[in-house]
Amino acid sequence: MNTPDDLRYSSDHEWIRSEDGNRVRIGITDYAQDALGDVVFVELPAVGSQVSAGASMSEVESTKSVSDVYAPIDGIVVEINNDLVDAPERINEDPYGDGWLCVIELAEGVSVDELLDAAAYRALTEG
Protein backbone atom coordinates (compact mmCIF):
# COMPACT_ATOMS: atom_id res chain seq x y z
CA MET A 1 0.00 0.00 0.00
CA ASN A 2 1.09 3.53 -0.73
CA THR A 3 1.50 5.63 2.45
CA PRO A 4 3.17 8.97 1.66
CA ASP A 5 5.53 10.19 4.38
CA ASP A 6 4.45 13.85 4.08
CA LEU A 7 0.85 13.22 5.24
CA ARG A 8 -0.86 12.61 8.58
CA TYR A 9 -3.41 9.83 9.06
CA SER A 10 -6.38 8.93 11.21
CA SER A 11 -7.00 5.46 12.61
CA ASP A 12 -10.22 5.52 10.51
CA HIS A 13 -8.09 5.57 7.30
CA GLU A 14 -8.32 9.22 6.27
CA TRP A 15 -5.26 11.17 5.18
CA ILE A 16 -4.59 14.84 5.96
CA ARG A 17 -2.31 17.20 4.02
CA SER A 18 -1.50 20.58 5.56
CA GLU A 19 -2.04 23.51 3.21
CA ASP A 20 -1.69 27.27 3.48
CA GLY A 21 -2.55 28.76 6.83
CA ASN A 22 -4.77 26.57 8.96
CA ARG A 23 -6.34 24.52 6.17
CA VAL A 24 -6.00 20.80 5.48
CA ARG A 25 -6.97 18.67 2.49
CA ILE A 26 -8.57 15.32 3.35
CA GLY A 27 -9.21 12.06 1.55
CA ILE A 28 -9.30 8.33 2.22
CA THR A 29 -6.11 6.31 2.16
CA ASP A 30 -4.92 3.84 -0.44
CA TYR A 31 -5.54 1.11 2.15
CA ALA A 32 -9.17 2.23 2.57
CA GLN A 33 -9.95 2.53 -1.14
CA ASP A 34 -8.43 -0.90 -1.74
CA ALA A 35 -10.59 -2.43 1.02
CA LEU A 36 -13.71 -0.74 -0.37
CA GLY A 37 -13.29 -1.93 -3.94
CA ASP A 38 -14.62 0.05 -6.90
CA VAL A 39 -16.09 3.35 -5.68
CA VAL A 40 -19.34 4.18 -7.47
CA PHE A 41 -20.76 7.10 -5.46
CA VAL A 42 -19.52 9.75 -3.03
CA GLU A 43 -21.63 11.92 -0.75
CA LEU A 44 -19.54 14.97 0.08
CA PRO A 45 -19.98 17.22 3.11
CA ALA A 46 -21.61 20.61 2.57
CA VAL A 47 -19.36 23.65 2.31
CA GLY A 48 -19.75 25.61 5.53
CA SER A 49 -20.61 22.57 7.63
CA GLN A 50 -18.83 22.13 10.93
CA VAL A 51 -17.16 18.77 11.43
CA SER A 52 -15.93 17.12 14.61
CA ALA A 53 -13.09 14.63 14.88
CA GLY A 54 -14.45 11.10 14.85
CA ALA A 55 -17.90 12.07 13.55
CA SER A 56 -19.18 11.03 10.12
CA MET A 57 -18.77 13.80 7.54
CA SER A 58 -19.46 11.98 4.27
CA GLU A 59 -20.12 8.59 2.70
CA VAL A 60 -18.43 6.47 0.06
CA GLU A 61 -20.36 3.75 -1.74
CA SER A 62 -18.55 0.95 -3.53
CA THR A 63 -19.58 -2.22 -5.28
CA LYS A 64 -18.99 -3.99 -1.94
CA SER A 65 -20.50 -1.66 0.68
CA VAL A 66 -21.35 1.82 1.90
CA SER A 67 -18.85 3.34 4.34
CA ASP A 68 -18.83 6.49 6.40
CA VAL A 69 -15.89 8.84 6.13
CA TYR A 70 -15.04 10.31 9.52
CA ALA A 71 -13.66 13.78 10.12
CA PRO A 72 -10.08 13.32 11.31
CA ILE A 73 -10.05 16.74 12.93
CA ASP A 74 -12.35 19.56 14.11
CA GLY A 75 -13.09 22.40 11.71
CA ILE A 76 -15.28 23.84 8.98
CA VAL A 77 -15.54 22.51 5.42
CA VAL A 78 -14.40 25.29 3.09
CA GLU A 79 -14.08 23.38 -0.20
CA ILE A 80 -15.24 20.08 -1.68
CA ASN A 81 -14.04 18.08 -4.68
CA ASN A 82 -17.08 18.40 -6.97
CA ASP A 83 -15.25 16.36 -9.63
CA LEU A 84 -16.02 13.23 -7.58
CA VAL A 85 -19.76 13.64 -8.22
CA ASP A 86 -19.30 12.63 -11.87
CA ALA A 87 -16.09 10.62 -11.42
CA PRO A 88 -16.08 8.84 -8.02
CA GLU A 89 -13.59 6.32 -9.39
CA ARG A 90 -10.87 8.97 -8.92
CA ILE A 91 -10.74 7.82 -5.30
CA ASN A 92 -9.54 4.41 -6.52
CA GLU A 93 -7.29 5.79 -9.25
CA ASP A 94 -5.54 8.55 -7.28
CA PRO A 95 -6.51 8.57 -3.58
CA TYR A 96 -3.79 11.08 -2.61
CA GLY A 97 -4.25 13.35 -5.62
CA ASP A 98 -7.42 13.84 -7.69
CA GLY A 99 -9.38 11.63 -5.28
CA TRP A 100 -9.34 14.11 -2.36
CA LEU A 101 -12.69 14.78 -0.65
CA CYS A 102 -12.63 18.20 0.98
CA VAL A 103 -10.63 21.03 2.52
CA ILE A 104 -11.21 21.88 6.16
CA GLU A 105 -10.26 25.05 8.01
CA LEU A 106 -9.03 23.88 11.38
CA ALA A 107 -10.84 24.93 14.53
CA GLU A 108 -8.86 27.19 16.84
CA GLY A 109 -6.24 25.31 18.84
CA VAL A 110 -6.42 22.15 16.70
CA SER A 111 -3.19 20.67 15.35
CA VAL A 112 -2.53 17.88 12.85
CA ASP A 113 0.32 16.76 15.11
CA GLU A 114 -2.32 14.84 17.11
CA LEU A 115 -2.74 12.45 14.16
CA LEU A 116 -0.68 9.44 13.10
CA ASP A 117 2.49 9.94 11.08
CA ALA A 118 3.19 7.62 8.14
CA ALA A 119 5.22 5.12 10.21
CA ALA A 120 2.46 4.81 12.82
CA TYR A 121 -0.20 4.41 10.11
CA ARG A 122 1.86 1.70 8.38
CA ALA A 123 2.14 -0.12 11.71
CA LEU A 124 -1.64 0.10 12.12
CA THR A 125 -2.44 -1.27 8.67
CA GLU A 126 0.24 -3.93 8.61
CA GLY A 127 -1.22 -5.44 11.77
Q: What is the DSSP string of 38-79?
A: SEEEEEPPPTT-EE-TTSEEEEEEESS-EEEEE-SS-EEEEE
Q: Percent of the chain scored above 90 by pLDDT? A: 90
How much is the pLDDT for 56? 96
| Arithmetic mean of pLDDT over the chain | 95
pLDDT at 20 over 90: no
Query: At a CB cut-off of 8 Å and minimum separation 6, what does 120 contact?
Result: 9
Q: What is the pLDDT of residues 85-109, one digit of tens each?
A: 999 999 999 999 999 999 999 999 9
Query: How far is residue 126's CA from residue 1's CA, in Å, rounded to a whole number?
Result: 9
Segments making up each domain of the chain, as ranges: 8-111
The fold of 8-111 is OB fold (Dihydrolipoamide Acetyltransferase, E2P) (2.40.50)
Cα of 43 vs its chain's centroid, Å: 13
For the question of whether the overall pTM of this predicted structure is more than 0.75, the answer is yes
Q: What is the mean pLDDT of residues 13-24?
A: 93
Residue 21: CB atoms within 10 Å:
8
Asked whether the beta carbons of 75 and 106 are under 8 A apart, the reply is yes
